[in-house]
Structure 1
Amino acid sequence: MKAVLILATLFVFISMLLNAARNRGKLDDKANRAVAGLASSMRIFVYGLLFFVGIVCLAVAWQSL
């Protein structure tokens, strides 16, 4: 579980760094599109990971009843 949380935190941090570089205009068009695509896929992965963790927590809570 710690590894999942660390991975999600790293993905969010890297996504924020890439978005900051994109917003400052330091990237050309091709790099800007690549960073936008990468940020979107990372965001979808983190949301999926949080959904999966929520399902696991509900399953554990259900089993403890």
Structure 2
Amino acid sequence: MKVVLILATLFVFVSMLLNAARRKGKLNEDANRAVAGLASSMRIFVYGLLFFVGIVCVAVAWQSLKSGA
């Protein structure tokens, strides 16, 4: 789990750096398009990771309620 959280943090950090470079106009048209595509795929990964963690939390809570009753 630590590795996944570190990877998600690195994705967010790299995405922020790339968006900063894209907004300042330091990239040409092709690089700008590539950065936008990479940022959207990183965003999808992070949202999927949050969804997966949410499902795990619900499963653990349900299991603890089921075993406690």
Q: What is the TM-score of this pair, normalised by structure 1?
A: 0.96
Larger Rg: 2
Post-superposition offset of 1:47: 0.4
Give the letter for the 1:49 counterpart.
L
Q: Give the equivalent residue in structure 2 for 1:59.
A: 59
Matches of 2:47 and 2:53 in 1, distance apart?
A: 10
Q: Output one character per residue of 1:30-64: Cα deviation in whole Å (capped at 9) or x when no partner.
A: 00000000000100110011100110111011101
- Provide the alpha-carbon RMSD of the alignment: 0.6
Give the letter for the 1:15 counterpart.
S
Q: Among all aligned residue pairs of Structure 1 and Structure 2, give the percentage whose two residues are the same amino acid.
A: 88
- Structure 2, unpaired ranges of 5+: none
Task: Count residues with an aligned counterpart.
Answer: 65
Q: What is the TM-score of this pair, normalised by structure 2?
A: 0.91
